[in-house]
Amino acid sequence: MDIKDKYIMALDQGTTSSRAIIFNHNAEIVASAQKPFEQIFPRPGWVEHDASEIWYTQSSVAAEAVARANLTGLDIACIGITNQRETTIVWDRETSLPVYNAIVWQDRRTADYCEELKAAGHAEMIREKTGLIIDAYFSATKIKWILDHIEGVRERAEKGKLCFGTVDSWLVWKFTRGRTHVTDVTNAARTMLFNIHTMEWDEELLRLFDIPRALLPEVKQSSEVYSETATTLFSTKIPISGMAGDQQAALFGQLCVEPGMTKTTYGTGCFVMMNTGGEPVTSRNNMLTTIGWKIGGQVTYALEGSVFVGGAVIQWLRDGLKVIASAQETGELAASVDDSGGVVFVPALTGLGAPYWDQYARGAILGLTRGTTAAHITRAALEGIAFEVHDVIEAMLQDVKYPATEMRVDGGAVANDFLMQFQADIDRRGVVRPKILETTALGAAYLAGLAVGYWRDIDEIRGHAQTDRRFEPQLDAGQVRKLLDRWHKAVDRARGWAE
Ligand code: ADP
Mutate which of 416, 421, 433 to test ligand 1's pocket (most atoms within 8 Å of Cβ)? Answer: 416
pLDDT recorded at residue 187: 98
How many C-beta atoms lie closer than 10 Å to residue 252's C-beta? Answer: 33
pLDDT recorded at residue 3: 86
Could you tell me which residues are beta bridge partners of residue 182? 218
Contact 211, 193 (CB under 8 A): yes
pLDDT recorded at residue 45: 87
pLDDT recorded at residue 401: 81
Euclidean distance between CA atoms 127 and 51, whole angstroms:
30
What's the 179 CA to ligand 1 centre distance in angstroms? 39
Q: pTM for this one? A: 0.93
What's the 376 CA to ligand 1 centre distance in angstroms? 20
Mutate which of 17, 106, 266, 383 to test ligand 1's pocket (most atoms within 8 Å of Cβ)? Answer: 266
Q: Return averaged pLDDT per consecutive 10 residues of the chain, 499 residues in all.
A: 91 94 96 94 92 96 95 94 96 97 92 93 95 92 97 95 97 95 97 97 97 97 95 83 97 95 93 95 92 96 92 93 95 96 94 85 95 97 97 93 88 95 96 94 97 95 92 96 97 92
Cα–Cα nearest to 447, from 16, 27, 42: 27
What residue ranges line ligand 1, CB within 6 angstroms?
267-268, 311-312, 314-315, 327-328, 330-331, 411-413, 415-416, 419
Cα–Cα nearest to 278, from 251, 264, 297, 255: 297
For 454, left (φ over 0), alpha (ψ -120 to 50), or beta?
alpha
Q: What is the number of the ligand 1 atom nearest to the C-alpha of 329?
A: 23
Buried b / exposed e across 451-477, counting CB within 10 Å, b at 16+?
A: bbebbeeeeebeebbeeeeebebebee
pLDDT recorded at residue 234: 76
pLDDT recorded at residue 190: 96
> What is the Cα 201 distance to its own chain's centre?
22
What's the 412 CA to ligand 1 centre distance in angstroms? 4
pLDDT recorded at residue 498: 85
What's the 314 CA to ligand 1 centre distance in angstroms? 8
